[in-house]
Amino acid sequence: MAQYFSEPSRTFSEYLLVPGYSSKECRVDNVSLETPVVKFKKGEKSPITMKIPLVSAIMQAVSDDKLAVTLAKEGGISFIYGSQPIESQAAMVRRVKAHKAGFVTSDANIKPDQTLADLLALKERTGHSTTAVTEDGTAEGKLLGIVTSRDYRVSRMDPETKVKEFMTPFEKLIYVKDGCTLSEANDVLWDNKLNALPVIDDNQRLTHFVFRKDYNNHKQYPNENLDSHKRYIVGAGVNTRDYAERIPALVEAGADVLCIDSSEGYSEWQKDTLDFVREKYGDTVKIGAGNVVDEEGFRYLAEAGADFIKIGIGGGSICITREQKGIGRGQASAVMEVAAARNKYFEETGIYIPICSDGGIVYDYHLTLALAMGSDFIMLGRYFARFDESPTNKLNINGNYVKEYWGEGSNRARNWQRYDMGGDKKLSFEEGVDSYVPYAGALSDNVRYSLQKVKSTMCNCGALSIPELQEKAKITVVSATSIVEGGAHDVMLKETSNSSNMR
């Protein structure tokens, strides 16, 4: 007969944290959310860490290069989705790595023979008042000059006037060479009272701009997740089918960490993928694996060489694996068992393998529960899909703004490699849905708000770091009636626009 688990499969909503002793030091400003991303030996530090414990899901509707840059500014990591051609995924990774903190690739460029009318149309389209004049009109062309709003007066000039007649020519520009630091570039900006400073290479080709307005913006991101060259850290998803071609392309593009994207990770295919990485790159390439939901799955991937292990099957809001196949486990139960296995493995080997909870997050407080139960960081899909920076369309449905969101197992994604277990391709079935999520605005505002709640709860538990939370946390199962008691009850609620939770 089948093996039975003695405990029911539980979700995060079935638990609450019980407050602990809070000293005067337990203030939100004192809480650190720094966390390891990849494995390390006892007494050492993880080669990759994050200032916040959040990563974005390997999904078409979530993780492209735009969201990756924005999340890296906040201290997290995006895993660029792999259900696309290798070349386009590698290009996304390159764009993130080229987007050096404080250095902006010009997206307002014009040729010298174009007209004032062309310039005004470009300004209307981009919203930028500083335009680079390059030989070929591209962001990487030879820089011939710059146009700002101070260089022309619309009311007194013929719209057909050539840009080269009123631009500030290269000979009169102040610029810096590619390779200078952001600090050096900002010094030049401020010393010369400039609003924009072009960065060029040895062939006078434009590489970036540094803007005065971005100086204060840069100071607003104290948790920026940067590599040793001050470039944003970015991850990428791979599969267990074309890994021999995809992984080298992503490594060459500069991906900092990879993750095998699969609906179920306790498989020989994952071991083959990990073996390929270790044989070709040794430990220089970092790659996570998953997903698993129990100790056996964790141990298998740990011994296969995974740098981190992802937990969760069927718990995503757009995932229907459980109802289609009857496979999965409540996310809270899965996290607790895998965390115990991780700790046991660490005691036996002296190697700490971070674990990532993927799925099952409905409310902000679930983030804190996932961390307290042992997760080192959390992968989120729906949460990030709601923001301006996600790659999906923003729509107005019945007077409410929403964003499109679909699962990798849906017909729309057509990511069959993620779920392929063999058999007739005509009999493939969906394991994800196509849906909408309520639009929530800018990523930065929402992430900071959610993590403020996490930090506040940690203070209630007397913890100032994630390891301390895991050590001190007291967790209780809640009954159905206490769940009702925990919300507003026995009152008539006023209308409110508060959408702070992730529903």
Positions annotated as catalytic residues are 319, 418
Q: How many residues make up the chain in this entry?
A: 503
Copy the structure tokens of residue 136: 């070929």
- Please say whether the beta carbons of 118 and 91 come within 8 A: no
- Please say whether the beta carbons of 263 and 419 come within 8 A: yes
Q: Which residue from 156, 181, 177, 175 is spatially nearest to 166, judged by alpha carbons?
A: 156
- Please say whether the beta carbons of 158 and 179 come within 8 A: no
Task: Return the C-alpha torsion angle 192, 195, 201, 205, nearest 10.
Answer: -130
- Please say whether the beta carbons of 333 and 340 come within 8 A: no
**Residue given tokens 């630091």 in the structure block:** 181
- Please say whether the beta carbons of 66 and 105 come within 8 A: no
CA atoms within 13 A on the CB side of 436: 13
CA 228/CA 170 separation, integer angstroms: 32
- Please say whether the beta carbons of 82 and 58 come within 8 A: yes
Across the strands, what pairs with 21?
none
Look at phi and psi of residue 193 and say left if phi exceeds 0, alpha if psi is from -120 to 50, else beta.
left
CA 431/CA 443 separation, integer angstroms: 28
Instruction: Tell me how far CA of residue 266 lies from CA of 58, 159, 299, 308, 339, in angstroms.
Output: 18, 65, 9, 14, 16
**Residue given tokens 């100071």 in the structure block:** 219
CA 97/CA 79 separation, integer angstroms: 13
CA 163/CA 118 separation, integer angstroms: 9
CA 355/CA 308 separation, integer angstroms: 6
- Please say whether the beta carbons of 434 and 277 come within 8 A: no
Q: What is the largest CA-CA distance in the chain?
A: 88
CA 464/CA 130 separation, integer angstroms: 45
CA 416/CA 430 separation, integer angstroms: 9
Residue 363: CB atoms within 10 Å? 16
Q: Following DSSP, what letter does each residue of 371-385 receive, concatenated?
A: HHTT-SEEEESHHHH
- Please say whether the beta carbons of 173 and 146 come within 8 A: yes
CA 45/CA 49 separation, integer angstroms: 9
